Amino acid sequence: MASRQARTIAWQGRPVWILRRSDAELAALAADDGRVADPASLQSVQAPYARNPYRSLRPELFVAIGLCTHQGCVPARSGGHLLCSCHTAKYDLAGRVFSGGPAPRNLTIPAYRLADESRLVIGEDA
């Protein structure tokens, strides 16, 4: 996820993305609602505190396991979306999968909490 406000870290042998979304990126998520398979994230793997339109503790902060839910390839940022190069599954910047592609569900949101304004702890619930 190439961006000046994005990081990828390794956690439990998997890539975890941490992205600070802009106001424009947050606004674009509402436009994706009609095109994603599970807009309310009812079929997705995430803690209850991330079951919201942004799939996060805070709207501007996106934390997700960076593996496609189809076959585990690593999607890449493509414009305002995430695109899996293996089989073209497409996700929005909340990790919600678009309808019609091969991925069966939204990206996984790991348990995490904010230790303070500048530290994120992955693997522990908020």
Predicted local distance difference test score (pLDDT) of residue 1 = 47
Distance CA 85, CA 79 (A): 14
Residue 117 lies in a domain: yes
What per-residue confidence (pLDDT) applies to 32? Answer: 82
pLDDT digits (tens, 9 = 90+) for 36-95: 999 888 888 888 888 888 999 999 999 999 999 999 999 998 888 999 989 999 999 999
Residue 90 forms part of a structural domain: yes
Structure tokens at 97: 């999968």
Q: Domain total for the chain?
A: 1
Token pair recorded at residue 95: 């990790």
Can you give the residue range of the structural domain that contains 33?
6-122
CATH assignment of the domain containing 24? 2.102.10.10
The answer, as to whether pTM is greater than 0.75, is: yes
CA torsion sign for 47, 121, 80, 54 is positive
Q: Is residue 1 part of a domain?
A: no
